[in-house]
Each structure stands twice: as structure tokens, then as C-alpha cells.
């Protein structure tokens, strides 16, 4: 599902709201999650899961085209862990 499909489904379930308002709400939620991850915070949505960041150490990679060794710098990557309730719903 992409963001526009999510907005359409929410609009169908909430006909009393304008679609542009739903788009603004979805954008605000996603921007807050991204901002919190950018600050190094953890975002937990009970029953759904938790967003956090993980640090990847610097390493030596390989260019797949030429086979040359390439240094890869240390970086932070987003990480999502499903909540217990979500895992149970998926594995009935």
C-alpha cells in the first residue's frame, strides 16, 4: 500500500472529513516519525510496532561492477520491529 492508497481508504471510512485534511494528518504523522528518528528518538505505536535507528559500523564494501574495494562510512539506518499484537494478528 502506498501513501495515496492509505489516504483514499481513510477517506472512504471517514466521509465526514475532507480528503485534503486526511492527507495533512497522514503527512503530519509521517513527518513526526521521521523527525523523531532524525533526532535519535524511538517511536512506539502500541499494538503496531516500534520505529528506531540502528548504527552500522564502517566497513569495506565492494563495487559490484568493477570488483574494487570501497570504504563504506558509518551510518544510521531506520529499523522497525513489529509489536506483539501485530505478530499475533499476522500469525493466527
| pTM assigned to the model | 0.79
Res 30: pLDDT:
96
pLDDT in tens, the chain (92 residues): 999 999 999 999 999 999 999 999 999 999 999 999 999 999 999 999 999 999 999 999 999 999 999 999 999 999 999 999 999 999 98
Q: Which value, in Å, is the radius of gyration of the alpha carbons in the chain?
A: 19
Cell of 54: 540502528
Res 53: pLDDT:
96
Cell 528518528, located at residue: 37
Res 92: pLDDT:
86
Domains and CATH numbers, the chain: 1-41 (4.10.520.10), 42-92 (4.10.520.10)
Amino acid at each position: 500500500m502506498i501513501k495515496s492508497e492509505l489516504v483514499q481508504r481513510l477517506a472512504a471510512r471517514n466521509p465526514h472529513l475532507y480528503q485534503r485534511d486526511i492527507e495533512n494528518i497522514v503527512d503530519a504523522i509521517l513527518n513526526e516519525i521521521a523527525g523523531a528518528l532524525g533526532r535519535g528518538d524511538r517511536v512506539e505505536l502500541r499494538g503496531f510496532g516500534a520505529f528506531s535507528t540502528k548504527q552500522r559500523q564502517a566497513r569495506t564494501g565492494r563495487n559490484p561492477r568493477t570488483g574494487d574495494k570501497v570504504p563504506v562510512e558509518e551510518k544510521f539506518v531506520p529499523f522497525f520491529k513489529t509489536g506483539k499484537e501485530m505478530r499475533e494478528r499476522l500469525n493466527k
